[in-house]
């Protein structure tokens, strides 16, 4: 009886010991920490931290004590969140691979062939475009991950340093000061400042090639008065399209009337004397 108790206790103790060692060795809590870290990372998979993606970086932070300030897309917010999460000190951003300058992608418009290959590559959907159309990068959304550079067949994407901090467009627009900053940025060589002035007259807007506006939003970004130019142009384009639709319907109706008249005239000349239905019937029978 005593041996039985002893042996059973011994087996239990050995198993417990082994399990404890295994728990230490494989530490399942690591996974939860990794998941939490991963949630804080921006998921751009840009590998600028020196690890092949966000999960490897999270694993490195959790298990290898990797520095928490290697994530340029996340910036200071991510560093602060990670510091809170891990109880470490928030450090200034350290771009291990780059030169410390925050860069965003920009497309050289003259060379873009509209192949759409860069669209799926962008992890944050910051590139807009359609087949055979010029693509544009939404600067505010671009994280500078450089993933769009590899798929571009004509190498028309540059990484340009961000000269000024990105201004988030405020909802309160100030009056236009006619600075003309919006003119050089327009990829379609339009003059947004003029288009905005002529907002009411559709004829002038049409002559200023309003229909060519691709609503890329570049003029919004540079406008110092924070005027929602793209939105204004979109509405004006809609009015222009509506007016053109009315003109088109009128033209089509007129065309149909003219065609109808011409057909009637021709029918009259063929049936020289459309006297009565009996005559017509007799003629048809003769033909048969």
Which parts of this chain interact with another protein (CB under 8 A)?
A: 3-4, 7-8, 11-12, 15-16, 18-19, 22-23, 26-28, 30-31
* Residue with smaller CB distance to another protein, 38 or 117: 38
Q: Whole-number minimum distance, CB 57 to another protein, in Å? A: 16
Q: Whole-number minimum distance, CB 21 to another protein, in Å? A: 10
The CA-based angle 219-224-227, given to 5 degrees, is 60
* Residue with smaller CB distance to another protein, 1 or 288: 1
Lookup result for tokens 């229909």:
211
Sign of CA dihedral 47, 48, 51, 57: negative
* Residue with smaller CB distance to another protein, 41 or 156: 41
* Residue with smaller CB distance to another protein, 29 or 242: 29
Contact between 89 and 64 under an 8 Å Cβ cutoff? The reply is no
Q: How far apart are CA 91 and CA 88, in angstroms?
A: 9
Contact between 44 and 141 under an 8 Å Cβ cutoff? The reply is no
Q: How far apart are CA 121 and CA 144, in angstroms?
A: 13
Q: Whole-number minimum distance, CB 84 to another protein, in Å? A: 24
* Residue with smaller CB distance to another protein, 17 or 114: 17
Q: Whole-number minimum distance, CB 10 to another protein, in Å? A: 9
Contact between 121 and 150 under an 8 Å Cβ cutoff? The reply is yes
Q: Whole-number minimum distance, CB 30 to another protein, in Å? A: 7
């Amino acid at each position: 009886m005593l041996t039985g108790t002893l042996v059973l206790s011994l087996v239990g103790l050995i198993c417990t010991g082994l399990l404890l060692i295994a728990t230490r060795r494989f530490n399942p809590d690591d996974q939860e920490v990794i998941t939490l870290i991963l949630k804080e990372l921006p998921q751009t998979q840009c590998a600028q931290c020196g690890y092949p993606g966000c999960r490897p970086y999270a694993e490195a932070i959790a298990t290898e004590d990797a520095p928490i300030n290697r994530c340029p897309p996340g910036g200071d917010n991510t560093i602060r969140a990670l510091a809170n999460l891990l109880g470490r000190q928030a450090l200034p951003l350290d771009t291990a691979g780059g030169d410390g300058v925050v860069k965003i992608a920009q497309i050289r418009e003259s060379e873009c062939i509209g192949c759409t290959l860069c669209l799926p590559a962008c992890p944050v959907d910051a590139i807009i475009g359609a087949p055979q159309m010029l693509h544009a990068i939404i600067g505010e959304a671009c994280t500078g991950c450089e993933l769009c550079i590899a798929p571009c067949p004509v190498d028309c994407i540059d990484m340009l340093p961000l000269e000024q901090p990105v201004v988030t467009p405020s909802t309160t627009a100030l009056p236009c000061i006619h600075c003309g900053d919006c003119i050089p940025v327009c990829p379609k060589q339009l003059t947004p400042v003029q288009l905005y002035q002529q907002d009411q007259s559709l004829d002038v807007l049409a002559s200023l090639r309003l229909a060519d506006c691709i609503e890329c939003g570049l003029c919004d970004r540079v406008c110092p008065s924070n005027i929602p130019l793209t939105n204004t142009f979109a509405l004006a384009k809609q009015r222009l399209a509506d007016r053109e639709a009315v003109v088109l319907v009128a033209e089509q109706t007129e065309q149909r009337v003219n065609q109808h008249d011409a057909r009637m005239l021709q029918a009259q000349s063929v049936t020289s004397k459309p006297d009565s239905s009996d005559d017509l019937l007799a003629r048809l029978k003769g033909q048969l």
